[in-house]
Amino acid sequence: MAIGDGCLAADEYNRPRDLAGLPLTKVEPGGSEDLAPRLRVGLKLDWPVQVALVNAKPPTPFVGFRWARDGRRWLVNVCNYSRQPVQVRVSCSGARRLRNLFTAQPVTGAVALQPMEPALIEAR
């Protein structure tokens, strides 16, 4: 993956590099907030789980997430790494119901997370 036109144009000694024949995907440069959608399109990735901030005000809080498939369900680990409370919306393609495994409560809308608070969402 190469971001921008000059990426990988030279080696560590500033000698021109021949990129012909390399399996490269070029992604146009931009801000970090829209990098993930551009990578999904540029790399032709299937991204079944989406986590979006609800009503976030700049500076955008940092929310990290990871997901894994476990049989017929998805497990989505979400954590608020910022110093302010946030609300996140988790969606998963094909899932009919979501449940927070830490609280045993169904998730029907946004999940409120306090600073440094995790949530483990099951999507079935």
Condensed to tens digits (0 to 9), the pLDDT of residues 70-124 reads: 999 999 999 999 998 999 999 998 899 999 999 999 999 999 999 999 999 999 9
Residue 73 CB-half CA count within 13 A: 12
Domain that holds residue 36: 1-46
DSSP classification of residue 3: E
Q: Are 67 and 78 contained in the same domain?
A: yes
What are the strands of the beta sheet with 105-107, ordered from one edge? 63-70, 73-80, 118-123, 98-100, 105-107
CA-closest candidate to residue 90, choices 62, 121, 117: 121
* Global pTM value: 0.68
pLDDT in tens, 24-43: 777 776 665 667 676 777 67
Query: How many structural domains are present in the chain?
Result: 2
Q: Which residue has the tokens 């399109």?
A: 41
Least confident of 12-16, 20-24, 51-55: 20-24
More confident residue, 44 or 9: 9
Q: What is the rounded distance in angstroms from the CA atom of residue 97 to the CA atom of residue 89?
A: 13
Q: Are 3 and 64 contained in the same domain?
A: no
